[in-house]
Structure 1
């Protein structure tokens, strides 16, 4: 009887892992494709000394469209998909597994909030670590032309020849330091809000999930944005020619040349637009697909 129970538990967990991988992959791809032009715009301002404004962002988008056409706004999105599909799949799956390890009941609003936060943070660290070279490649493609990097494979080839294996993890430290509050806050906020609404009002639907995800996205983005600035500058330093070789060096260069607000919060207002959209779509899509797969 015990052997049968263990086999059933293993089988159920395997199905849950496959379910989470598929749901997370679709959720991540849909969310990132939706906001890809805004993401590309944000990265360009993050790595330059040009002051950010809504007018400047619109000018960048319109000039890109006029110069290269509509689909150029999605340049680098192939690299994004190559990265985000495994990243989102791993992140959601890791969250479910860490939630089990830490005994987190996501339906209970009174459950230990610390464990919810830690589960999300560990999920973010797990997925980011396993897919980081793809994130670096995506960032470099987003801020270059086809003359510099013709394809994702070209980015990997040139990075290896010019910087070695170490080059694939440039900016890794600020990325991990940033993903801890970002993923922890996002998963914690989304789970807590969704459970609260279900507990108080007794319902859950796609609109509620989308709204909770949007709030979670804004909270997560705000908690880690300065580190996002630093990691982007470090990831693309080989392109811009700046001496962004370490977290400390990058921090001081940005602080001295651009100041606190303009330097470390440049483009945050755009993130308050694209972040909630992407996170809302991601969480609600994941829940929708996951629920349907469980019923099959």
Structure 2
């Protein structure tokens, strides 16, 4: 009798008759051992809604935590102020003394209006792009498709929510008394600068989204993949996700920072003393002001603080929210 349950593999020849006139060989194909693989999630309306909700929550929580640092960074990026730790403390203190503690979160309402749809679209798009780029016979993405999935998700979300990003930047660099709110600023911009003002800095934003989204998602997904390989498919703990996300944020911010400075200058042209029309002219003006370190990379050290915090929180909250929602009675039946 042939034992088909043996896990060794392959193909062997069994001699059924040794008669010199008859030599019959039977080829037996034994089943290959199946290694445990990560479960593939099918796309259903439940998974799409879960990704959208989880992304929205992740973006809102992360941006609210680092809002004071975000506003301070934009104030430096859109001015010729010298950047340093003492100067950062001075700006925070001046805003607090002159406008009150809640002024540190000025522009955060505009940030929420923008970040909730942005993060929802980015995370949901990333999950879909991963499925589209994953080979049918594989459970994991190769490195380059993994980078592409993050880049395409960043570009998709940035393009669809860009006018809101412009309003957020403009809110951050204006005093509270100048506009009553986001709607007031929107109407004023539309009246005095026209619809094109809402797309100032669009190109550098799209160019920056490619390395930023690609690098951050690639780094985080790679850390999680490596973690599972080293721990027999154990999911990372929240603190481990925070650390992986922090490194991903650090890498992503560093890879695209000069384009971030350029886009902020272009977005706020018309309400600051600057007026820029092209990426090249903007970059040259910034370079003349402060060179590479004090101009194109101005405020990067602050981003090395707030970026890892924000991205670490965002990735962690997304994963935890997604897992929690997937286990609820409402959604669990549609997640396979």
- For Structure 1 versus Structure 2, the TM-score category normalised by the shorter chain is over 0.9
Residues 11-53 of structure 1 deviation map (CA, whole Å, 9 limit, x = unaligned): 9521111000000000000000000000000000001111100
Which of 29, 35, 43 lines up with 2:66 in the alignment?
35
Structure 1 residue 201: deviation in Å?
2.6
Take 1:230 and 1:122, find their aligned partners in 2: how far apart are those partners? 21
Q: How does 1:25-104 map to 2 (within 5 A)?
A: 25-103=56-134
Which of 264, 272, 281 lines up with 1:232 in the alignment?
264
Structure 1 residue 104: deviation in Å?
6.7
* Larger Rg belongs to: 2
Structure 1 residue 147: deviation in Å?
2.8
The 8 Å contact of residues 104 and 115 in structure 1, kept in 2 or not, is answered as no
Take 1:207 and 1:281, find their aligned partners in 2: how far apart are those partners? 10
The 8 Å contact of residues 117 and 185 in structure 1, kept in 2 or not, is answered as yes
Which of 29, 43, 52 lines up with 1:21 in the alignment?
52
Q: What is the aligned partner in structure 1 of residue 147 from structure 2? A: 117
Q: What is the aligned partner in structure 2 of residue 244 from structure 1? A: 276
TM-score, length-scaled by structure 2: 0.82
Q: What is the aligned partner in structure 1 of residue 213 from structure 2? A: 183
Residues 209-262 of structure 1 deviation map (CA, whole Å, 9 limit, x = unaligned): 111000000000000000000000001111113121111110111112221111
- Cα 1:47–1:115, aligned 2, differ >3 Å: closer, same or farther? same
TM-score, length-scaled by structure 1: 0.93
For CA contacts below 8 A with separation 6 or more, give which structure has more relative contact order: 1
Residues 86-132 of structure 1 deviation map (CA, whole Å, 9 limit, x = unaligned): 00000000001111111179974xx4110000000000000000100
Q: What is the aligned partner in structure 2 of residue 6 from structure 1? A: none
The 8 Å contact of residues 125 and 156 in structure 2, kept in 1 or not, is answered as yes
The 8 Å contact of residues 118 and 157 in structure 2, kept in 1 or not, is answered as yes
Moved more, 250-259 or 114-123: 250-259
Give the root-mean-square deviation of aligned CA atoms: 1.8
The 8 Å contact of residues 262 and 282 in structure 2, kept in 1 or not, is answered as yes
Name stretches of at least 5 consecutive residues in structure 2 with no aligned partner.
1-41, 329-336
- Cα 1:271–1:225, aligned 2, differ >3 Å: closer, same or farther? same
Q: How does 1:154-173 map to 2 (within 5 A)?
A: 154-173=184-203
Aligned length, in residue pairs: 286
The 8 Å contact of residues 62 and 314 in structure 2, kept in 1 or not, is answered as yes
Say whether 1:145 aligns with 2:145: no
- Cα 1:104–1:275, aligned 2, differ >3 Å: closer, same or farther? farther
Name stretches of at least 5 consecutive residues in structure 1 with no aligned partner.
1-10
